[in-house]
Structure 1
Amino acid sequence: MKIAFFTLLSPIQSALSDCAEGLALAMANIPEVIIDLFINDDYQPDTPAILEQFNIYTYHEFASRADLYDICLYWVGDHGDYHGFMFDFIHRYPGVLVLNDTTLHRAVMTTTLYRGNEQSYLDEMKYAYNINDLRVAKQIEAGDGDYIILKYPLFERMVNSSLGVVLHNNYARLQVLMRCPNAKVKRIFYPFFIPPATTEFDLHEKRKEKRAELGLENYFVVGAFGIFVPNKHLEDCLNAFANVVKIYPQSKFILGGFAIPEYDLAGYIQEIGLTEHVIITGWLPPKAFSEMMFALDVGIHLRYPHIGGTPYTPIRLMGVNACTIVSDIEPLAEVPQGACIKIIPDMYQFDTLNAILTHLVNNRNFCRQVADNGQQFIEKYHHLHHVAQQ
């Protein structure tokens, strides 16, 4: 089988480029599977393993090659600048649509309204919801986007054009079927790996090496990873961590990633007096980003509101044997309490998180047990090669 895989790749700063690369490498190892990659035309891929393994083309080159492929695979999320180049192809060359988010509304707005094509946006709204004006777009621009984009996800035409649709959690699967009942939909979990596509490693040695590199051999290490935005609730995380520092001064919080420009996370850390206890890495290449997680005792990934897709960071945190704390949200419903620690995103979120972190720093055996449970769960349900076979 020859597959045309439409995707984003590193150096695009997104978990979706990282995840797509590992999945592509694993799929390419399946006998009789050949994959060519099709990307946008505004960057050059930079992952050596990807450059060595695949033929990589810009999307402009697909039409002349379309007859060479048995199927197209579209790796799509709600970022118009990253994924918008695929949208026309999804209709012209129907294939398998992998929906990493259960809304594409902002991406559609980017590729239509924000590029001067109001009518195309209205056509999508008319097709999906029989709405023929801009009132929904204006509500999103006015700041009501987190609610509105789930009410009007704008994936309907793309789903209906596709031969099949893959989602990464059952909540997302049901959301698609509710709006597109005739769609052929399958839930396939995200794969766990360390870039470029490593699933076998000596955990004890990795943790020892990373802690020695950072000078954290005897520290209690907490961390959060990704692109930092307000709906990841870092203020609650840092304030709860401040209480950990009072209990065990040799504690460190690693912020593996960077904050969006309008989110002054560094200023907030200084304001609450935690500068000496927090490491902000800034953007890291996928391999370095992932390996930084080996240093952790506890990883935190709060996310609310969400946009339907499974957050990838908790999968990797559990896979590297960090005791992982997450928001108790629908996209993570299939991860059992005990493989991680779930916190309801309500008015008591800080108090709950504070109590949990205090318990973990005082009860290291419990902390390790949750970490071990999480790693076993990931090994059983999110193994890279098992996911690739599906």
Structure 2
Amino acid sequence: MLRIALLTPLTPERTALADVIEGYLPELARRFELTVVTSGAYKPTAAIFRPEAGLRIRVLPYTQYRTLADQFDLALYNLGDEPRLHGYMLDAMQERAGVLLLHDLVLHHSIFVLTWGAGNQAAYRDELVYSYGAETAEAIIAGVLAGDFERLASRYPLVERVLDRSLAAAVFNAGLAEAVASLAPGLPIETLPLPFYLPGELPDEARVQALRRQIGSPETVIFGTFGLFNSQKRLELTLEAYQRLRREINCAYVLVGSALDPDLTARLNERNLLDDVVRTGWLEPAAFSEYMYAVDAAVQLRYPHVGGIPYTPIRLLGLGVPTIISDIAPQADLPSDAVIRIVPEASDEGEALYRAMYRLAVDPMQRASMSAASRVYIARQHDPRHGAARLADFVEYIAAQKEQLAERAQLRQRERTAGRKSGNDVVAMAGQALAAMGVRADDTEVLHHVLKPIAAMARLAQPRGEG
């Protein structure tokens, strides 16, 4: 049985990545001698770690793992773009190549915080130079100093070194798989389904009705939005649509989760919605999930995105909640009879959202049809046992060829840095080779035929954005 170290955030950390991996853990624990490695800042609280769960999963803090890392056959890194949660994994990858479970293509935010944010601008520049070359690195730094960080982070994901160091990568949608393949040719990639997984006990009908009474009357159509409320959730559009809708229909709106937007309260107040939108604040995972049973429909917009597939819609659809989503590539596989798509940044985005909410509010038959379709789809495509089994098979496949893949990882890193040579570097190396062959500086006829194609190759070697 393989000895696997899985570096990952777990509940009680406030991240969907913990929910995803906890959905996989029971099957992984049956297939492997499994050790979960945390940052060490907390103790896991999910039910699967209780003795009565009957799962053999060892938990180690990262400081202890570092002294024991050689005991494991393979390391898995459940990685996203949150420096507080994933910084120790980026550190561990420098010592030990492993298999990525990659949720976001963009890691620029984490690397920026862990380097520049820690007072080490040189380390940030080194990462940029490795991925994009010296000239582009200087341009990015100038843009950051000019206040253009978010746009630059989206354009330059800064995931290249992480991919180059890895033995393989598992991702959760085809679009992210294609992006990874283009950045790291030859890297083994597996595309997995996100697991439909809910923590805790299912709420009974009395609990669901009690939650509904807290939000509205028994006849009220309840809309909900779940998760961390940042600019990507496009709440301004949803609030505007809800404000219009409530003038015509008996409806309510609940925000279940934490607000990262400091202006949310002010914006609710400006729309006279401060007392009409229910806000739960952050909830423990089981309580968070209970509210999914209490809503009639959900609005889960997300744009821009960073490559990963949003997890909350998978859970809502598994419970049969009709859901309105943004029309983005990571969600392209969700069936059209189970969701309503809104094109982000279209001229009629707000109007399209209002019409979608209106249809769901007034048409219980459409809600029922979408509910049935979504349950069937999730049961077929997102069973956590099937996804975990595919991940376990992939891990075994990679472990069997770990040495060869480690050599390929080293080769990718050498090729990446070799590709960053400037035109002058290429010409200098060619000059040294010609001198060794006895070609003199006054051999103009020979040099004419040699230097022209060398110059062309030097131009081709320029990295993206530097030509």
Give me the TM-score of the superposition, normalised by structure 2: 0.77
Matches of 2:375 and 2:265, distance apart in 1 = 31
The equivalent of 2:241 in structure 1 is: 240
Of residues 110, 115, 130, the one that matches 1:107 is 110
The equivalent of 1:298 in structure 2 is: 297
- Structure 2 counterpart SS, 1:247: coil
The equivalent of 1:209 in structure 2 is: 207
Q: Does 1:169 align with 2:199?
A: no
Matches of 2:336 and 2:141, distance apart in 1 = 38
The equivalent of 1:22 in structure 2 is: 23
In the superposition, relative to structure 1, how do residues 34 and 270 fare at CA in structure 2: closer, same or farther (>3 Å)? same
The equivalent of 1:60 in structure 2 is: 63
Q: Does 1:127 align with 2:127?
A: no
* Amino acid of the structure 2 residue aligned with 1:60: T
In the superposition, relative to structure 1, how do residues 331 and 140 fare at CA in structure 2: closer, same or farther (>3 Å)? farther
Matches of 1:96 and 1:266, distance apart in 2 = 42
* Amino acid of the structure 2 residue aligned with 1:383: D
Matches of 2:69 and 2:296, distance apart in 1 = 48
Q: Does 1:268 align with 2:271?
A: no
CA drift at 1:336: 2.3
Correspondence 1:35-74 to 2 at 5 A: 35-50=34-49, 52=51, 53=55, 54-74=57-77
Deviations 1:38-83 (A, max 9, x none): 1113333333432544321111112332233221110001111110
Please tell me whether the aligned partners of residues 95 and 164 of structure 1 are also in contact (alpha carbons under 8 angstroms): yes
* Amino acid of the structure 2 residue aligned with 1:39: T
Question: For the pair shown, which has the larger CA radius of gyration, 1 or 2?
Answer: 2
Q: Does 1:193 align with 2:192?
A: no
* Amino acid of the structure 2 residue aligned with 1:72: A
- Structure 2 counterpart SS, 1:371: helix
CA drift at 1:159: 1.0
In the superposition, relative to structure 1, how do residues 128 and 187 fare at CA in structure 2: closer, same or farther (>3 Å)? same
In the superposition, relative to structure 1, how do residues 145 and 237 fare at CA in structure 2: closer, same or farther (>3 Å)? same
The equivalent of 1:385 in structure 2 is: 385
Please tell me whether the aligned partners of residues 206 and 294 of structure 1 are also in contact (alpha carbons under 8 angstroms): no
Please tell me whether the aligned partners of residues 7 and 76 of structure 1 are also in contact (alpha carbons under 8 angstroms): yes
Percent of aligned positions that are identical: 31
Matches of 2:235 and 2:146, distance apart in 1 = 24
Matches of 2:151 and 2:11, distance apart in 1 = 30
Identify unmatched segments of 5+ residues in structure 2.
391-467
- Structure 2 counterpart SS, 1:305: coil
The equivalent of 2:311 in structure 1 is: 312
- Structure 2 counterpart SS, 1:62: helix
* Amino acid of the structure 1 residue aligned with 2:282: W
The equivalent of 2:5 in structure 1 is: 4
The equivalent of 2:410 in structure 1 is: none
- Structure 2 counterpart SS, 1:389: helix
CA drift at 1:87: 1.0
Matches of 1:321 and 1:356, distance apart in 2 = 17
Moved more, 289-298 or 44-53: 44-53
The equivalent of 2:326 in structure 1 is: 327
CA drift at 1:294: 0.7
CA drift at 1:94: 1.3
Identify unmatched segments of 5+ residues in structure 1.
none
CA drift at 1:188: 0.8
* Amino acid of the structure 1 residue aligned with 2:107: L
CA drift at 1:219: 2.1
Please tell me whether the aligned partners of residues 207 and 294 of structure 1 are also in contact (alpha carbons under 8 angstroms): no
- Structure 1 counterpart SS, 2:314: helix
